[in-house]
């Protein structure tokens, strides 16, 4: 019922190679290696990415030509396939010129050689491991980060790791090309939430668009009654509407939802963080209180929208969404020492795609700690493995990724218009809470489905950020 956006496809450059001196010595070797290169290209194309194939290189001059082709292509990740031994001079220009991270593949034809029948030419097709330490040393001396995956052509363990790097490259590209809306003002007193937008562009790339509450107010005033009614009808399909919902508040939330869609479209936003306090029921307060329905629908479409001016959490939600994990606005709510779970969630916008059941729309006469009233979203995250992901920030302004894996388990939940989940981290909830709080995380983060630390490790590597994992 909710059409997700189509994100920009990850662009992967591929260059394969081997030492040209071998070709006249072993005439059947090159065709075999080229067939392997075609197989790698085909597997990469199945991973929902755009593959720019620079071909097969046999010497340093051909490597330089491939480097230029990949530089112009603007790739998010460069993959170098070591089909056999090749000199580091053949891949050095690829690593230096593209400006994209490089992943080297050492995928031999099968699990093992047939030692009884292999001659030198047959062995050389299994020799991609030989240049790997050479590449690592050369890359280090060139100031290029080194990463690799070793296995064989149909090794699904290796392809799982390759897929992890491609998804991480897509996340890095989403941040680098992203436009992130920041609407309103900081929730007064939340020192941990405050983020310098310039640091986002400096460390993650992308652009932070500064917006005002009037940018939304004016658009809300232009929404027609017919458009409002259509959005109410959509919401009735998406949500179970609780009897506490007041029709007038429902319609207002729907009107603001339509306006939010237009705001996102007009400013080409990939994420949105917002907060506006307002006063005594005036128009700006009503607009600020009307975000939750529309923000939840946007988040479900793949455009994370989050309250309390939480720019870093909107980016963490974007990371989790692009990993396929959802990513819902979350904070600590209470500790349950009887059941050994941590209860967490948040009032306001949530990622509907990870709800355990049809989400509930509840009417609230008051938003705790905020001005205004209206409708709010309530659900439990789908039971099973989950990962918390947030962006911390150090004294020097440097961002870090903070993560922890747990399991959402069933049990009693509050019915107060909040998302609430019971997360078991496999240890005393008090000890986990102390360790999580000491990690440098702020008091908000994204909660997504699946265990994602392995993927976040790759994301942190490509972004050049430190990753802190809180474990029992």
Task: Report which of 123, 58, 128, 68 is spatially closest to residue 89, judged by C-alpha positions.
Answer: 58
- Asked if residues 381 and 449 have their Cβ atoms less than 8 Å apart, the reply is yes
Model pTM?
0.96
- Asked if residues 220 and 259 have their Cβ atoms less than 8 Å apart, the reply is yes
| DSSP single-letter state for residue 243 | T
Strand partners, 179: 207
- Asked if residues 377 and 296 have their Cβ atoms less than 8 Å apart, the reply is yes
Residue 368, pLDDT score: 82
Residue 116, pLDDT score: 96
Domain 10-175 has CATH 1.20.210.10: no
DSSP 413-440: ---SSEEEEEEE-SS-HHHHHHHHHTTT
> Could you say which residues of the chain have pLDDT below 70?
none
How far apart, in whole angstroms, are the C-alpha atoms of residue 381 and residue 340? 18
DSSP 335-355: EETTTTEEEEEEES---GGGB
Q: Architecture of 178-469 per CATH? A: Alpha-Beta Barrel (3.20)
Tokens of 146: 């080194």
How far apart, in whole angstroms, are the C-alpha atoms of residue 422 and residue 431? 16
pLDDT in tens, 229-270: 999 999 999 999 999 999 999 999 999 999 999 999 999 999
Q: Quote the distance between the C-alpha of residue 133 and its chain's center.
A: 31
Residue 181, pLDDT score: 98
Burial of 16 (0-12, 13-18, 19+ CB in 10 A): buried
How far apart, in whole angstroms, are the C-alpha atoms of residue 167 and residue 160? 11
Question: Residue ranges per domain, the chain?
Answer: 10-175, 178-469
- Asked if residues 385 and 444 have their Cβ atoms less than 8 Å apart, the reply is no
How far apart, in whole angstroms, are the C-alpha atoms of residue 140 and residue 146? 7
| Three-class SS state of 202 | helix
Task: Report which of 401, 402, 398, 349 is spatially closest to residue 378, judged by C-alpha positions.
Answer: 349
205 Rama class: left (phi>0) / alpha (psi -120 to 50) / beta: left
What letters, b where the CB count within 10 A reaches 16 and e where it falls short, cover 73-101? bebbbbbbbbbbbbbbebbbbbbebbebb
DSSP 286-312: HHHHTHHHHHHHHHHHT--EESTT-HH
Task: Report which of 378, 264, 386 is spatially closest to residue 323, judged by C-alpha positions.
Answer: 386
pLDDT in tens, 137-192: 999 999 999 999 999 999 999 999 999 999 999 999 999 999 999 999 999 999 99
Biggest distance spanned by C-alpha atoms of the chain: 86
Q: Which residue, chain included where needed, has tokens 């027609």?
A: 224
How far apart, in whole angstroms, are the C-alpha atoms of residue 65 and residue 72? 11
| Three-class SS state of 329 | strand
Tokens of 205: 């790339």
């Amino acid at each position: 019922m909710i059409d997700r956006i189509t994100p920009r496809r990850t662009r992967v450059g591929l260059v394969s190679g081997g030492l040209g001196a071998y070709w006249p010595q072993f005439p059947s070797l090159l065709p075999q290696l080229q067939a392997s290169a075609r197989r790698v290209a085909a597997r990469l194309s199945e991973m929902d990415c755009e593959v720019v194939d620079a071909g097969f290189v046999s010497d340093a001059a051909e490597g330089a030509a491939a480097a230029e082709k990949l530089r112009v292509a603007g790739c998010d990740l460069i993959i170098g396939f070591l089909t056999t031994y090749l000199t580091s001079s053949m891949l050095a220009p690829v690593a230096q010129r593209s400006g994209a991270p490089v992943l080297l593949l050492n995928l031999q034809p099968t699990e093992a050689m047939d030692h009884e029948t292999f001659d030198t030419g047959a062995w050389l097709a299994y020799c991609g491991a030989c240049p790997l330490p050479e590449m690592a040393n050369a890359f280090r001396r060139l100031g290029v980060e080194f990463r690799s995956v070793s296995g064989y052509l149909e090794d699904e363990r290796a392809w799982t790791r390759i897929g992890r790097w491609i998804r991480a490259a897509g996340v890095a590209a989403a941040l680098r090309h992203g436009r992130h809306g920041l609407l309103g003002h900081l929730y007064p007193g939340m020192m941990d939430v405050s983020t310098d937008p310039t640091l986002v562009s400096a460390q993650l790339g992308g652009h932070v668009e500064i917006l005002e509450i009037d940018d939304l107010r004016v658009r809300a005033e232009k929404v027609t009654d017919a458009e409002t009614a259509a959005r109410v009808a959509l919401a009735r399909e998406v949500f179970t509407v609780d009897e506490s919902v007041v029709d007038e508040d429902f319609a207002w939330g729907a009107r603001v939802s339509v306006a939010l869609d237009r705001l996102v479209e007009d400013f080409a936003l990939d994420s949105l963080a917002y907060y506006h306090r307002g006063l005594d029921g005036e128009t700006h307060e009503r607009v600020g209180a009307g975000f939750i329905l529309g923000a939840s629908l946007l988040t479900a479409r793949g455009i994370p929208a989050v309250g309390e001016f939480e720019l870093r959490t909107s980016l963490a939600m974007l990371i989790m969404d692009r990993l396929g994990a959802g990513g819902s606005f979350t904070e600590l709510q209470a500790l349950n020492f009887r059941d050994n779970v941590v209860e967490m969630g948040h009032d306001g916008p949530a990622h509907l795609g990870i709800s355990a059941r049809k989400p509930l729309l509840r009417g609230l006469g008051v938003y705790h700690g905020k001005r205004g009233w209206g409708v709010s979203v309530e659900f439990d995250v789908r039971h099973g493995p989950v990962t918390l992901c947030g962006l911390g920030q150090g004294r020097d302004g440097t961002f870090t990724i903070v993560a922890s894996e747990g399991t959402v388990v069933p049990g009693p939940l509050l019915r107060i218009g909040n998302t609430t989940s019971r997360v078991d981290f496999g240890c005393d909830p008090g000890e986990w809470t102390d360790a999580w709080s000491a990690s440098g995380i702020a008091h908000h983060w994204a909660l997504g489905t699946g265990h994602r630390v392995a993927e976040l490790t790759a994301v942190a590597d490509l972004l050049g950020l430190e990753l802190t994992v809180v474990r029992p």
